[in-house]
Amino acid sequence: MPIADTGEPNIMYLNRFRRASRTLWVRLPATLLVIFLFSSCQQFGYYMHATGGQLALLWDRESIESLLARPDLEPVLADKLRLVKAARQFAQDELDLPVNDAYATYVALPRRHVVWNLQAAGEFSTDSHEWCFPVAGCVAYKGYFEEMLARRNADQMSAAGFDVYVRGVNAYSTLGWFDDPVLSSFIHYADHSLVALLFHELAHRKLYVSGDTSFNESWATAVQIIATERWATDGRSALTTDQVLRQLQATARVSAFVDETLHTLAGIYSQEALSPVEKRLLKQDILDDLHSQYLALEADFGYPMGYGHFFSQPLNNAALLSVGHYTMWVPAFLQKYRQLDADLAQFYSWSTALASLAKSERDAVLQVLQAAAS
């Protein structure tokens, strides 16, 4: 059964929504008007919350150019903003990504993360629960501008028997509907990580398939990897090309580790001879052993892989799927890129054609490529 949204939109966002809407309402796509007209009462509070949060970001933006002209600007922040400018130019000139006015402004947030994503899955399922929206289609997460609301809804879903996972998110893409700003939640990332994040989010503006989270996130991650390699090869990264490739290899190893775990869990869940109690015990044994397995994986790799915190926390189906969506089809996309002799224009054309297929046909093509990549 659907889980009802509870609680009124935070008054801060409602007030900012009213104030910002005087000048920004005309910029909202007509789709949002449809949302307000046809939403149920349960969903209306959530849409008000989400729209108010987005408008607050638009209202608080400040031009990067004007910030850089200020003599009192913190030098570290100034350097990061100059790096953003260089990455935007590279994305436009060398990667053919639709930059336009995205990331040309900056917002200092009053909080650690820009949003908190709620993800969920059945207790004995490796398929993500999905929420459906008019613009993005059905997606495997629901974002909140307030952590309290995300956790309140997570508690409701947990009480209904779902595995739930709430994580802070430092950046997201509006898919070109708005000119996304640079945020204080990610501006102080290490240089290579900041650039990689920008490439990932700009990739979403290039190609997005409504209702297919794994395709969208895997494709953007693949483009991010390709772009980061080109950025390093061009001598623009503080890291050497070998260091960038080593980090990408680490991500691939962790992705394979998570995929293997999900496959093992799916095998347990599909065994009709097992009772729920037996499935629950086997599931917990596997989850409890993941941290030690990850540490062994990292030791074998011989280099920090960056997932220590993730595997040290209590894990469940939803948490593992939060990693899986971003990496599920990455090997397949990179395999095709290599088959096309690293021709980015051809890769974009192929990807666009693939995106036009039905999901079952897309997945079939990607499965063949995935097998070839292994």
Share of the chain above pLDDT 90, in %: 62
Between 148 and 374, where is the model more confident? 148
* 27-38: average pLDDT: 44
Task: Count the alpha carbons within 13 Å of 144 in the hemisphere toward its beta carbon.
Answer: 25
Condensed to tens digits (0 to 9), the pLDDT of residues 244-278 reads: 667 767 877 888 899 899 999 999 999 999 999 99
Look over the chain and give the mean of its residue pLDDT values, rounded to a whole number: 85
d(CA 240, CA 217): 26
Condensed to tens digits (0 to 9), the pLDDT of residues 178-208 reads: 899 999 999 999 888 899 999 999 999 999 9
Question: At a CB cut-off of 8 Å and minimum separation 6, what does 63 contact?
Answer: 104, 105, 106
* 136-147: average pLDDT: 87
d(CA 138, CA 297): 34
Confidence of residue 293 (pLDDT cuts 50, 70, 90): very high
Q: Nearest 5°: phi and psi at 183?
A: -120, 150
* 26-47: average pLDDT: 52
Question: At a CB cut-off of 8 Å and minimum separation 6, what does 72 contact?
Answer: none
Q: Which 3 state secondary structure label does DSSP give 118?
A: strand
CA distances from 260 to 47, 163, 280, 356, 372 (A): 37, 19, 18, 29, 17
Confidence of residue 45 (pLDDT cuts 50, 70, 90): confident
Q: Where does residue 96 fall: left (phi above 0), alpha (psi -120 to 50 degrees), or beta otherwise? A: left
Between 322 and 243, where is the model more confident? 322
